[in-house]
Structure 1
Amino acid sequence: MDDLYSAKWLAEKIGDRSIRGIALETSALIRAGVLPVGTRLPSIRDLAYELEISPATLSEAWADLRRHKVITGRGRNGTWVSGDRFVAKPERFASAGNYGPNALDLTLAVPDPSLLPPLAQALTHAATVEKLNDYERVRIIPELHEAALARWAYEPEAFLVTNGGYNAVYTAIRALVSPGSAVAIENPTAMRLLDILEDFGVKIIPVLCDEHGPTPQSLHAALQQRPTAFLFQPRLHSVTGQTVSPDRLAELGDILAGTETLIIEDDGLGDIAGIPTQSLGGRFPERTIHIVSYSKTLGPDLRLAVLSSSASIVEQIQSYRAFSAGWTSRVLQSATAWLLREPHSFDMVAKARAIYQQRRDGLAEALNCRGVPVSAGSGLCLWLPVASEGFATVTLAARNIAINPGRKFSLLPGDYIRVATSMLGEDKWDSVADAIALASTV
């Protein structure tokens, strides 16, 4: 092999010798062109020796890169950087199956369209928004500023509108976090958040959660690695259905108080949560980024979220954003403002919240009756431990029920499935519970 890409050369480029660290740092070298497409990689034995790790550890890292089609080949034929070019895509989110027409798809924890407020009047109002079709890059229009502030968890220094909650997280990460640095995130978490972090090539530090939110002990341990940011859901957890208690939020604040870590709060479910808005922004206004998405409550086609932070952080995010869209449609901002002011729209949100709770509780009760324990919670899905994630997924698929395996939402080993309940009618509770009960045991 050419000395340029020898085992010793590559080992010197990899600082994190864990399975995940090796995969992320090798992927970053390929993205940057340091390891060009077509490069033959060192043998597992030689590279493991230089890294001072076991060949099994390196094999696991290489297997992860093969799953993402970053490298190809194995054995005596060697391993190569694959493809004509490196194409980034959200692997976790993009790995959904193509289910047949008769399948019951319980993979998407999304709002029921019939429970969303109608948009006709809101859009009619929005057509009269001031400076319509002007190219001024407005961060937030005055009426949305006023409407959002009336319901905000604290009084921030600055607001910025983005094209949805994940767009807000993506833009904030790109603007404020350096590639190769560390980010702490609750585990499990939304798969889209993991996709964003994995694509950017940061070191991801999982923070364990219990029924009250991220645990103080785990966050404290994560902060010893000096992450640039801590990303978490400050109200209702989109995967587990657990809510962060005010006492737990205060404990997390106590731990973060002695650091300079950015705090990114992703309130993606908004008022589907049954508790009031809450944030660490009032305590740490200079480094908290609080994001509220309106997709789940007012409509996904609004593609709108609002974030708050210090003026300097908002300026940094907006400066990065200026390379692309630059601003979010005034029409969509005005329509959202109208809905936020309209009492009837929030009556509908309250009704939807109650129906989602009924659907979640209905399946949970049916499972409890079949000996499958389910934790209390709310939101749009159930997070269930199973004996074998693979067995559960295949068993349910054989019964035309599609669910998400837990590995899409987690960085740590474990066997779970996530079952969306937001559009699961009462007539399906028993049949789905029967299938899950069968799938939960081996």
Structure 2
Amino acid sequence: MDAAWLAQRIADPSARGIAAALTDLIRQGTVTAQTRLPTVRGLARELGVSSGTVAEAWAELRKHGMIKTDRRRGTVVLGPPNVPRPIRYERLGHWGDRLAIDLTIASPDTALLPPLESALIAASRAEGLNDYARETITPRLRAAVEPSWPFPARSWLAVGGGYEGVQLLCQTTALPGDRIAIEEPTGARLLDILETIGVQLIPVACDEDGPLPGSLAEALRARPVAFVYQPRGQSPCGHAVTPERSTELADLLEPAKTLIVEDDGIGELSVSPMVSMGARFPDRTVLVRSYSKSHGPDLRIAVIGGAADAVERVRVLRSFGTGWTSRILQDALAHLLGDAAVREGVAHARQVYADRRARLAAELATRGVRTGGRDGLALWVPVRDEAAALVTLAAHGISVAPGSRYVIDPVPHHHLRLATARLTDDPEELSALADVIALAAGRRLSAST
């Protein structure tokens, strides 16, 4: 495409105007797929603007999947705008229907979830149902969750699951181009969410005790607007932050204005105590606690509690859409949290999940494949070659998640993430599974490899 031709069709030479004009041309079919766009400098010269203005417009079009930049061909058109897709999450594994063992998604064992009938019946009789008054959290749910909250929350809100809570907090805190510090590896869906928001991701390396202070200190030099981490049950690695590590991290965050987002993804299923920085920074810490894996995915409930300003921004954004989370679902969860039998059932599930994870880790260790972590519903397994390991496991009817989906940029050491919540309890079957995983790993490895 000739730069002068395109410049003549751009009435507003701002970044937004350039992106809008090219979007119209692509939608109309005037500019078709595989058209090579002029260089950033060439178009900037024709428009009389800086190269940065054109680059910003290109970035906006790239975010919506309309163009891509190839080193050999330059920047080419892909087609009309599309809805951003969670690429990492969608590519966790599509190996066909013949697979017998699915270790891809860390979903709960349905046999270990509490029955919902009595909770839903009790919730359906609650006062105030079908009122259009927007209730951030029902009194019953707040009374049920507040005693176990690790710090005095300034504000509360029930949302539709843990990922929604983290997404809305980041979306209402960061503008496109802002920086967010996040532990690495981390949840594939979380990386998809943050990339869709258009922020720059600053990785923070971790060990068994959580984010490394030195790495966080380096990340804070970039002045991120938020730091997102999982204090316990970390996915994919199973880290759990110790009180000592939390103090070290808090010391680094003391002079910053960074919002601290704590993602407690498995909540009451974690075998590790909750260590929060909210007690030290109650005005800029928000904890997101999900109850999907412990009490039922179809409840679609997470509670966010903490810094009033951050929670209020989420409430305002939700007012454009759903407005509030169903009172029936909120009070159903409150009923479950207050039921002694359900609490016993959750404690039993916690132990079963921990045993399943530990048994597979032990089986792999005897075969020279040493995994790390001590909490969570997954194992982070080092392998020689990710692609070869995936193919080997698929050939044996086993689906797992590739480790590359859980990191920001490609890394030299390869891993797989194995969901352990639904593992077999049969020792012989587990031994056979470990044999195949060790075969796929390719050689004797350790978690530090």
What is the TM-score with the length of structure 1 in the denominator? 0.86
Tell me the residue number matched to 1:195.
192
Tell me the residue number matched to 1:148.
145
1:374 CA displacement: 2.1
Tell me the residue number matched to 1:94.
90
Q: Would you say the 8 A contact 2:232–2:238 is kept in 1?
A: no
Alignment of 1:167 with 2:164, yes or no, is: yes
1:361 CA displacement: 1.5
Q: Would you say the 8 A contact 1:99–1:402 is kept in 2?
A: no
1:82 CA displacement: 1.1
Tell me the residue number matched to 1:208.
205
Give the counterpart of 2:133 among 133, 136, 147.
Answer: 136
Q: Would you say the 8 A contact 1:238–1:269 is kept in 2?
A: no
| Structural mapping, 1:197-346, within 5 Å | 197-346=194-343
Please state whether the residue corresponding to 2:295 is helix, strand or coil. Answer: coil
CA distance in 2, matches of 1:431, 1:395: 14
Distance 1:30 1:81, change over 3 A: farther
CA RMSD of aligned residues (A): 3.0
Structure 2 unaligned blocks of 5 or more: 8-13, 44-49, 52-58, 444-449
Tell me the residue number matched to 1:24.
none
Q: Which entry has the higher C-alpha Rg, 1 or 2? A: 2
Distance 1:31 1:258, change over 3 A: farther
Q: Would you say the 8 A contact 2:232–2:375 is kept in 1?
A: no
- The number of aligned residues is 412
Q: Would you say the 8 A contact 2:37–2:76 is kept in 1?
A: yes
Q: Would you say the 8 A contact 2:106–2:421 is kept in 1?
A: yes
Tell me the residue number matched to 1:157.
154
Please state whether the residue corresponding to 1:396 is helix, strand or coil. Answer: helix
Question: Which range is displaced more, 70-79 or 265-274?
Answer: 70-79
Give the counterpart of 2:120 among 105, 123, 131.
Answer: 123
Opposite residue 230 of structure 1, the aligned amino acid is F
1:78 CA displacement: 6.3
Q: Would you say the 8 A contact 1:190–1:238 is kept in 2?
A: yes
Tell me the residue number matched to 2:3.
2
Alignment of 1:419 with 2:413, yes or no, is: no
CA offsets 1:134-165 (integer angstroms, 9 cap, x no match): 11110011111111101111111111110111
CA distance in 2, matches of 1:273, 1:30: 49
Tell me the residue number matched to 1:40.
36
Q: Would you say the 8 A contact 1:31–1:86 is kept in 2?
A: no
Distance 1:302 1:253, change over 3 A: same
**Share of identical aligned residues, percent?**
44
What is the TM-score with the length of structure 2 in the denominator? 0.85
Question: Which range is displaced more, 425-434 or 216-225?
Answer: 425-434
Alignment of 1:388 with 2:389, yes or no, is: no
Alignment of 1:432 with 2:428, yes or no, is: no
Tell me the residue number matched to 1:54.
none
1:349 CA displacement: 1.1
CA distance in 2, matches of 1:257, 1:376: 28
Give the counterpart of 1:176 among 173, 178, 183.
Answer: 173
Q: Would you say the 8 A contact 2:137–2:156 is kept in 1?
A: yes
Distance 1:358 1:400, change over 3 A: same
Distance 1:424 1:317, change over 3 A: same
CA offsets 1:155-211 (integer angstroms, 9 cap, x no match): 111111101111111111122211110000000001111011011110000100001
Q: Would you say the 8 A contact 2:122–2:332 is kept in 1?
A: yes
Q: Would you say the 8 A contact 1:182–1:226 is kept in 2?
A: yes
